[in-house]
Amino acid sequence: MIVHNVEWVVKISKLCNLRCTYCYEFPFLADRTRMRLEDLRIMFRHIAEFYAARPKRMDLVWHGGEPLLIEPTYYSVRRGDPGQEMATCLVTCKSAGCQVTRPVRSFLPLELAPC
């Protein structure tokens, strides 16, 4: 059986505390609008249901703005409801790293390299 990878890039919000001149989201970086937790749960449930009979390795990329500005509760949602867990899932986060706090470290398996 061939198992393919699927990568999900999830942008919870465009909110960012930096103002990098090259950012294509620059006009929206102060927008605090975010995906609702319930919508995130529904998304993960649909992914789990769709791929239940189709083995895949899932790569999940938290993206944004700055995804670490969002409270860590959002990152626990990917675990899913019992029986709805996503298949093997590599979780990464596209971040400037300025918001890596203890609560964030407890939810994300971050590997930090020295600058």
Q: What is the pLDDT of residues 46-81, one digit of tens each?
A: 888 887 777 677 788 888 888 888 887 777 765 544
How far, rounded to the nearest angstrom, does the alpha carbon of residue 61 sit from its chain's CA centroid?
A: 5
To the nearest 5 percent, what fractions of the chain are helix, strand and coil?
30, 20, 50
How far, rounded to the nearest angstrom, does the alpha carbon of residue 71 sit from its chain's CA centroid?
A: 12
The mean pLDDT of 7-34, rounded to a whole number, is 90
What does the pLDDT read at residue 88? 60
Residue 32: pLDDT over 70: yes
pLDDT over 90, % of the chain: 15
DSSP state of 67: G
Q: Which of 113, 106, 20 lies closest to 68 in space, CA to CA?
A: 106
Instruction: Report domain extents, the chain.
Output: 4-107
Q: Report in angstroms the alpha-carbon separations of 58 from 19, 52, 61, 102.
A: 31, 12, 10, 26
Residue 113: pLDDT over 50: no
Give this prediction's pTM. 0.71
